[in-house]
């Protein structure tokens, strides 16, 4: 579902058409230490220690490990995150996600099998977001 929003970094999102937006693909052959701030989407398959902030989508892969506070417009998490996650739009935790920290999102989806230890705060969004939140919560139950 949300996965479709995150295009594979190997295929799209780079080049002259990206209008100054910096897209980032972090594989498992590198480790990022410090404050990673991007105005484009970020796809993490490796390790990040510090903080992670993007104005667009964030995807944390199954084998990724993020020890950082995370801020993004939308996020799909399938790996390990130790830190608080703040998402303006939709936050999706896949069944393989292991999150230790507080979540804040407008729309939250947690798949069965995901491990989440922390506090979740949801904000009502304009344009019917509240109804969607209720539906998501009902699904989890």
Q: Which residues bind other proteins (CB under 8 A)?
A: 9-11, 14-18, 20, 22-37, 40, 46-47, 50
Contact 31, 15 (CB under 8 A): no
Q: Are 37 and 25 in contact (CB under 8 A)?
A: no
Nearest alpha-carbon partner for 86 in 115, 62, 130, 120: 120
Q: How far is the CB of 75 from other proteins (least distance, A)?
A: 19
Closer of 52 and 85 to other proteins (Cβ): 52
The distance of closest approach from Cβ of residue 12 to other proteins in the complex, given in angstroms and rounded to an integer, is 8
Report the nearest approach of other proteins to the CB of residue 100 (Å). Answer: 22
Question: Is the Cβ of residue 53 or residue 118 nearer to other proteins in the bound state?
Answer: 53
How many Å apart are CA 122 and CA 113, to the nearest integer? 21
User: What is the end-to-end Cα distance of the chain in Å, rounded?
Assistant: 20
CA dist 73 and 91 (Å) reads 9
CB of 84 to other proteins, least distance (A): 18
**Residue nearer to other proteins on the CB measure, 68 or 105:** 68
Smaller CB separation from other proteins, 59 or 90: 59
Query: CA angle at residue 109 from 88 to 122, to 5 degrees?
Result: 45
């Amino acid at each position: 579902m949300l996965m479709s929003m995150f295009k594979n970094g190997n295929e799209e999102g780079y080049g002259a058409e990206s209008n100054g937006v910096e897209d980032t693909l972090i594989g498992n052959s590198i480790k990022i230490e410090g404050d990673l701030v991007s105005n484009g989407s970020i796809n993490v398959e490796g390790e990040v220690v510090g903080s992670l902030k993007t104005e667009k989508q964030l995807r944390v892969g199954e084998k990724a490990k993020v020890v950082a506070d995370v801020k993004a417009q939308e996020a799909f998490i399938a790996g390990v995150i130790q830190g608080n996650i703040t998402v303006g739009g939709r936050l999706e935790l896949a069944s393989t996600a292991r999150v230790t920290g507080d979540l804040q999102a407008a729309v939250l989806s947690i798949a069965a099998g995901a491990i989440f230890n922390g506090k979740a705060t949801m904000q009502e969004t304009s344009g019917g977001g509240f109804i969607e939140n209720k539906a998501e919560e009902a699904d989890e139950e």
